[in-house]
Amino acid sequence: MLTFGLRCHLDKTRIVYCKQDGRDEDYPVTSFTFLGFDFRRAPIRRRDGVLMCGFVPLVGKAALTSMARVIRQWKLGRRTSLSLRGLAVMINPIVVGWINYYGRFYKSRLINFLEQCINPFQVKWAMRKYKRLRRATRKVRRKLAEIASAYPGLFTHWRHGARPTGSTVGAV
């Protein structure tokens, strides 16, 4: 590597044991993070439908923390000057980028995370925007579910299956 002007960083360079089915030995290092993905042992479903453990890339814990921080910084619950379409225009480009990058592997984990992080803020937004819904959390969730059923492509995460609870349309 020195011939190319490259050196290994002593703290970052290490040998990782890829623990998976058929490889169950104990080693001190069994996972690593690279480009926002955590490579580690996780359950996977083979093409024939059998569930097994494999060494796979998952959305990294640091990446999920960073995404959650960005979602909180949007302060969706306080953007009552925007319409629902305005909210979609604001957040869709960022969410599309996350889904395109991190959704390459284990997309279901990312979509579940987005559903848990974004949809509650949409409920909070509706409760603050419309006075008659101030204290009607269930009613707001139901209404958002109806909107998601009628317009499943309005928000990118809805399009990928992270619809509000009670939505009747299946994931695309």
Angle of CA points 55, 58, 61, to nearest 5°: 125
pLDDT at 166: 62
Extended beta strands in the chain, E state: 32-34, 37-45, 51-59
State both tokens at 102: 């991190």
66-110 pLDDT tens trace: 999 999 999 998 999 999 999 999 999 999 999 999 999 888 889
pLDDT at 48: 92
